[in-house]
Structure 1
Amino acid sequence: MSEINSDGVSERIRQSFGRQGAMRTLGAELTRINQGVVEIELPFDEKLTQQHGILHAGVISAALDTACNYAAYTVIDAEAAMLTIEFKVNLMSPGRGERFLFRGEITKPGSTIIVADGRGYALSDGPAKLIASMTSTMMVVRGREGISG
């Protein structure tokens, strides 16, 4: 799949991502935007670990939530915005790696509610290791003051 460009979707997502202080603080980078799929990567940083030296569950959750949310942006109209209303995270393996990849993928598009699944991977030498999964439910928001794409 190639990056989508219809109606400026990719640029709108990149601009929105650039306004996210949380992702900037984590050192996250938007690396893929396709119809229904978004990927975010971040390097290992000791500042993002918990007491055992592995990537903190909160960091994993935030990155997966963001990937799922922007995947939803690829299937909505330009005037709409997204808000997460629920998610569940399964932490499957310790977050040990040189880099991490977080992929959000649309499971069920909709005009009001969108469901996405996310997967988090640790990247080092060798194959990527699945460390977490997420199921996320998001609400499409239109015409609400202070909330825009």
Structure 2
Amino acid sequence: MNFTDPGDYRQRIKKSFARQGVVQAINAEISRIEHRLVEIELPFHPKLTQQHGILHAGVIAAALDTACTYAAYTIIEPDASLLTIEFKVNLMSPGRGERFLFRGEITKPGSNIIVADGRAYALSDGPAKLIASMTGTIMVMKGREGFEE
């Protein structure tokens, strides 16, 4: 893949992120956008927990998927869009923390299919704690009605 974007992807990602209802619902924010890497953070809130008071697996999966997909946006052409077609999440430790960091990174770029890996961390006093990992497969879409950027 030879496409190089001089930085416009940052604005595309920010505009797209602002249109996502799910990230608004969980109070997530983009904290870092780099070529092949995006980080999203969100504060702990009791409304995001499961019955034991830890961050719900669905919230973890949604945030990891979002970080991985936006990492893929940093390597695609401006007229393309993306759609996750598969992911696998491993939950490694209970989601307990004051804040959470979700990092998506491109593992395998491609013109039709992109593979990304994500890591989720709980942040409190002390070192960040790895709570989950994800591998996702993302399809590049061009000229598909309803999926324009």
Q: Could you say whether these structures have the same fold, taking a TM-score greater than 0.5 normalized by the shorter chain as the test?
A: yes
- Post-superposition Cα deviations, 1:33-69, rounded to whole Å, max 9, x if no partner, equal 0000000000000000000000000000000000000
**Structure 2 unaligned residues grouped into runs of 5+:** none
Distance in structure 2 (CA, Å) of the matches to 1:79 and 1:109: 17
Distance, in Å, in 2 between the alignment partners of 1:132 and 1:46 is 19
1:127-142 counterparts in 2 under 5 A?
127-142=127-142
Q: Does 1:72 align with 2:67?
A: no
> Which ranges of 4 or more aligned residues in structure 1 deviate by more than 3 Å?
none
Q: Percent identity?
A: 72
CA offset at residue 6 of structure 1? 1.8
How far 1:7 moved relative to its partner? 4.8
What secondary structure is seen at the aligned counterpart in 1 of 2:82? strand
| Consecutive unaligned residues in structure 1, runs of 5 or more | none
Equivalence for 2:15: 15
Q: Matches of 1:48 and 1:125 in 2, distance apart? A: 20
Counterpart residue identity of residue 80, structure 2: A
Shift of 1:121: 0.1
Residues 2-29 of structure 1, C-alpha deviations (whole Å, 9 max, x = no match)? xxx8251101100000000000000000
Q: What is the TM-score when the length of structure 1 is the normalising length?
A: 0.96
Counterpart for residue 36 of structure 1: 36
Query: Aligned partners of 1:7 and 1:91: how far apart in 2?
Result: 33
| Partner Cα separation in structure 2 for residue 148 and residue 123 of structure 1 | 35
Structure 2 distance, partners of 1:46, 1:19, is 24
- The alpha carbon displacement at 1:148 in A equals 2.0
SS in 1 for 2:60: helix
Tell which deviates more after alignment, 5-14 or 98-107.
5-14
Report SS of the residue matched to 1:136.
strand
- Root-mean-square deviation (CA, aligned residues, Å) is 0.8
Match of 2:125 in 1: 125
Letter aligned with residue 17 of structure 2: F
Instruction: Output the amino acid matched with 1:58.
Output: G
How high is the TM-score relative to the length of structure 2?
A: 0.96
CA distance in 1, matches of 2:95, 2:41: 13
Match for residue 47 of structure 2?
Answer: 47
How many residue pairs align between the two structures?
145
- The one-letter amino acid of 1:104's match is G
